[in-house]
Amino acid sequence: MSNFSTFFPSGGGGGEGSGINSYAPFLVGTADNNPQGYIKSTGVYTNPVDDSVWLETGKLLPISLASTYPNATTGIYPDTTNAPVQFPRTRGFAANATHAYSTDFTSTQYIIKYNITGGSALVNTVVPNSLQNRTVILTSTRVYVYAYSTGSPNAYTIEAFDLDLVNIPSERITGMPYQGAGNAGSIIKVGTSWFVVASSYVIDEYDSTFQTLLNSYSITDLGNLGTSNTLISIAWDGTNFWITSNALNQAFQYTTSFVYTGISFEMTIIQSPSNLLRDIFYNAGNSELFALSQDTGNPFESYYQAYASQLGDLARTDSSGSGQPLFIKLK
């Protein structure tokens, strides 16, 4: 068994004198205890010399361990315990713990129910008077479809269904102003209010009837990046809003007053570089954020990727040229 200095080369930092969340290059083998204290499956290394604990970058630990490592770096990353789920390409999408609801891209007048694990459609229902379905909005008891409908020019409605996609005509909302909400995730319901991405840099809040404008929030500098990025999608996680743009594969967290919190995370393109990823959602049933990427070429599929708060960092290697993986100090 090689000694500690073999695996933490000179100048790499090792355990001595390095603070929590510092990095060090680390040469590891392909099996446990190479070196002693290293667990290959989790990437955790416990230094037998000083009992410091390190985590290989690119490996992540569940947020439930935050009390064990209270000062360790956390972030929002793809949930590696759940593989991406494939669905037909969609114009609108929403999900809870057991099911997903989608307005299929080709069958533009239908709302479709799937198992959350994918597979064939369970229910396929025509949306009344719809020429083209757009956004799907999901609550604990209702599925709403925002649709371009028959009738006068620019006639938009919200059609209500129960969770088995039985239509509820008495809850139909008509005479809505057009909101430019052509992208999945661009309308959500929070309490009795509707929030909509109304234009390139504006989010509007309407009352329960969608007739009275309560507030209008201007967000011309998404994430305080110093540039203008067209807003494309909004989600609510029960405490804060999350917003995405058409130019950045990132989601940005905002307060109930639409003040940026400084928290953001990168949304990962799934399956293929040709995929277009823009929309962020929240699955209240699973208490998880998820992104939906749309393949821009055949077979035009959509991919559901869950995200979760986790300990650790994305994969990094030693910048000195050794090619060794970097480890981040947890404790």
Q: Using CA atoms, how far apart are residues 268 and 84, in angstroms rounded to an integer? A: 11
- Span 60-68, average pLDDT: 88
* 80 C-beta neighbours (distance < 10 Å), count: 11
Q: Report long-range pairs for 22-25 (Cβ below 8 Å, ≥24 apart).
A: 22/328, 22/329, 23/57, 23/316, 23/326, 23/327, 23/328, 23/329, 24/54, 24/326, 24/327, 24/329, 25/317, 25/318, 25/320, 25/322, 25/324, 25/325, 25/326, 25/327
Residues 188 and 198 sit within 8 Å (Cβ to Cβ): no
Q: Output the DSSP codes for 17-34.
A: TPPTT-EEE----SSTTS
Indicate if the pLDDT at residue 8 is higher than 60.
no
> What is the number of other CB atoms lying within 10 angstroms of the CB of residue 178?
12
Report which DSSP code applies to 299. Answer: T
> Coil, strand or helix: which one is 185?
coil
The rounded percent of the chain whose pLDDT value lies above 90 is: 28
Helix (H, G, I), strand (E, B) or coil at 5: helix
pLDDT at 35: 77
Q: Tell me, what's the pLDDT at 12?
A: 40
Fold of 85-311: Tachylectin-2; Chain A (2.115.10)
Report pLDDT for 99. Answer: 94
Contact of 96 with 284, CB cutoff 8 Å: yes
Mean pLDDT on 287-305: 74
Residues of the chain with CATH 2.115.10.20: 85-311
Per residue in 120-155, pLDDT tens?
999 999 888 777 777 899 999 999 998 877 665 557
At residue 16's C-alpha, the angle toward residues 14 and 19, to 5°, is: 90
pLDDT tens digits for 150-202? 665 557 888 999 999 999 999 998 877 655 544 445 889 999 999 998 877 88
Give the Cα separation of 59 and 98 in Å (integer).
Answer: 28
Q: Are strands 60-62 and 118-126 parallel, antiparallel or unpaired?
A: unpaired
Other residues' Cβ atoms within 10 Å of the Cβ of residue 60: 24
Residue (of 73, 17, 81) closest to 49 by Cα position: 17
The DSSP annotation for 192-259 comes to TEEEEEEETTEEEEE-TTS-SEEEEEE-SSGGG-SS---EEEEEE-SS-EEEEESS-SEEEEE-TT--
Q: What is the CA radius of gyration of the chain?
A: 23
Q: Which residue has the higher pLDDT, 212 or 1?
A: 212
What is d(CA 133, CA 90) in angstroms, rounded to the nearest whole number? 10
What pLDDT score does 76 carry? 86
For residue 322, pLDDT over 90 is answered with no
Work out the pLDDT band at 103, boundaries 50, 70, 90: confident
Q: How far apart are alpha carbons 41 and 55 in whole angstroms?
A: 11
Average pLDDT score over residue span 60-70: 89
